[in-house]
Structure 1
Amino acid sequence: MMRLLPLFAAMATGALCAALVARFVPAFRVKGKESFAAAGSIFLDALLAGLVVWKLSPLFLHARYFALHPGALLFAPGAGIGIATGSVAALLVSFFRLARRGKHAIALEIRKKMAFLLLVWYLAAALTAIVYQGTAHHGFLPAGTDIESSTLPASDYQAFDGNSYPLFEENSVTVVNFWASWCGPCKGELPEMISFYEKTLSAEAGGRIRFLTVNLTATEKSHSQVASFIVKEQLPFPVIEDIEGRLSTSFAVSSIPTTIIMAPDGRILTELKGVQSAASLEREARSALNTLEQ
């Protein structure tokens, strides 16, 4: 529900802006119950089309994965591409519906006014969404929160690939994702986690951003099942084993997926609860880097 609040806020802002234009700009006042009913019908159709395209956008980006795990699509993030394609779909449907209905029921002048008000609505909503993405802080812990080192078993942690990895390294921020193979939302965000990991390996990242995951192995049916899942899904990033649940307890992980961004000295900079996109992780990781460099 919390993830939908920005969407509702953007829609409400767009509606308010359109209403103010219709109320205070004489040239765009729309009168008549039929016109308002038509505008409401058009908006609902456009909203439905936009939401459907937004929700289905991960299917086009990661078709093979969601063909194997169709249920995971319910939890996959639409991300920036989904928002863009959904907005375009909403605009196309609204103007198509406006033109089609207008030929029979609404005068041309009224149709022009309604088209302008709908455009104001969408642009104001889009601007609100952009401002929110640029200013929102998703952390749930105060910056600089320390983990009690005595509660952690060692400095390096065993992973399913047979290697050991430190949770944090000097000169780098580390993004740690907690997940389980039985968790639907975790499966929904896996393609985004893979995309983010591949970005951390790029030359642009410069080795300043690390990414690894922690599997809540204590909650899984068996260790071998998780190992098979990792091989089957071809997960390229390190997956640390949390066999006794000590890591999830130390980080106070109350729900999954949960993603934590750590400073080079082990301080927790940001905690992100719920499904994340590659873009949101990159934004938060670079924000953490900028904070450390100031």
Structure 2
Amino acid sequence: MISMTVISFTDTDESANNAEQDSSEGAGIVPPGETGIEEGKVAPDFEVETLSGDTFRLSDLRGRKVIMNFWASWCGPCKEEMPEMQAFYEDYGDQVEVVAVNLTGNDSSIEDVREYIDQNGYTYPVPLDKDSEIQDQYSIYNIPTTYFIGTDGKVQEPPKLGPMDYDYMVDMMEKLT
């Protein structure tokens, strides 16, 4: 037990030293312990390709309110909320970023995702989590799951499990700072 404690202190010191080195290499690096999926923590950054072929980085949305939804094309409750998300996006897309992260690693194929999005006329960004890395990073066990991120990049509300409706999204947008 004592040796585990010593190892833990050693690992913590090493991480802190690496963080100091990293922070001297560039701006915008978040110190260890300040990133996480809990309220008040900076939402973990990620970079993936979108369904349209663009590169998506969560950190590029700093300064904007973000509603980030996780879904799959086979998910009934996800399909239930997507028309509501589209209506909300059309009405409030200039005030808040609506991002629908597709759990592509759990979906049938990218073409099925594309067909579903196109057939239904959804126009919000759809980042593709092909390797389930974002799903793991955000501890997504049930879908749909939605995170609410403020202009400072921090998670500002507990995640919503289950489908959202238009009014809920309006209420959440108004709470975000």
Please give the alpha-carbon distance, in whole angstroms, between the structure 2 residues aligned to 1:198 and 1:182: 24
Please give the alpha-carbon distance, in whole angstroms, between the structure 1 residues aligned to 2:133 and 2:38: 22
Q: Which residue does 2:168 correspond to in 1?
A: 280
Say whether the 8 Å CA contact 1:173–1:210 is kept in structure 2.
yes
Gaps of 5+ in 1: 1-140, 202-206, 290-294
Given candidates 55, 69, 77, the residue that maps to 1:185 is 77
Q: Structure 2: which amino acid aligns with 1:176?
A: M
Q: Which residue does 2:112 correspond to in 1?
A: 225
3-state SS in 1 of match to 2:127: strand
Q: Structure 1: which amino acid aligns with 2:127?
A: I
2:149 aligned with 1:267, yes or no?
no
In the TM superposition, what is the alpha-carbon distance from 1:231 to its structure 2 partner?
1.2
Gaps of 5+ in 2: 1-36
Say whether the 8 Å CA contact 2:43–2:149 is kept in structure 1.
no
Q: Which residue does 2:58 correspond to in 1?
A: 167
Please give the alpha-carbon distance, in whole angstroms, between the structure 1 residues aligned to 2:50 and 2:44: 22
Please give the alpha-carbon distance, in whole angstroms, between the structure 1 residues aligned to 2:64 and 2:171: 15
**1:142/1:217 Cα in 2 relative to 1: closer, same or farther (>3 Å)?**
closer
3-state SS in 2 of match to 1:238: coil
Give the TM-score normalised by structure 2: 0.72
What are the superposed Cα offsets for residues 50-96 of structure 1, whole Å, 9 maximum, x if unpaired? xxxxxxxxxxxxxxxxxxxxxxxxxxxxxxxxxxxxxxxxxxxxxxx
2:49 aligned with 1:158, yes or no?
yes
Please give the alpha-carbon distance, in whole angstroms, between the structure 1 residues aligned to 2:172 and 2:161: 13
Percent identity between matched residues is 27
Say whether the 8 Å CA contact 2:149–2:156 is kept in structure 1.
yes
Say whether the 8 Å CA contact 2:62–2:153 is kept in structure 1.
no
In the TM superposition, what is the alpha-carbon distance from 1:265 to its structure 2 partner?
3.5
Say whether the 8 Å CA contact 1:144–1:268 is kept in structure 2.
yes
Q: Which residue does 2:40 correspond to in 1?
A: 144
2:86 aligned with 1:194, yes or no?
yes
Please give the alpha-carbon distance, in whole angstroms, between the structure 2 residues aligned to 1:189 and 1:208: 20
* More contact order relative to length (CA 8 Å, sep ≥ 6): 2
Runs of 4+ displaced beyond 6 Å: none
Please give the alpha-carbon distance, in whole angstroms, between the structure 2 residues aligned to 1:159 and 1:200: 21
Please give the alpha-carbon distance, in whole angstroms, between the structure 2 residues aligned to 1:209 and 1:223: 26
Please give the alpha-carbon distance, in whole angstroms, between the structure 2 residues aligned to 1:274 and 1:260: 12
In the TM superposition, what is the alpha-carbon distance from 1:198 to its structure 2 partner?
0.8
**Bigger Rg, structure 1 or 2:** 1
What are the superposed Cα offsets for residues 257-279 of structure 1, whole Å, 9 maximum, x if unpaired? 01111123432112111111111
**1:204-215 to 2 correspondence within 5 Å?**
207-215=94-102
Please give the alpha-carbon distance, in whole angstroms, between the structure 2 residues aligned to 1:165 and 1:208: 19
**1:11-50 to 2 correspondence within 5 Å?**
none
Give the TM-score normalised by structure 1: 0.45
In the TM superposition, what is the alpha-carbon distance from 1:226 to its structure 2 partner?
1.1
Please give the alpha-carbon distance, in whole angstroms, between the structure 2 residues aligned to 1:221 and 1:170: 32
Compute the RMSD of aligned alpha carbons.
1.7
Question: Please, which moves more after superposition, 260-269 or 184-193?
Answer: 260-269
3-state SS in 1 of match to 2:156: strand
In the TM superposition, what is the alpha-carbon distance from 1:142 to its structure 2 partner?
4.7
Aligned length: 139
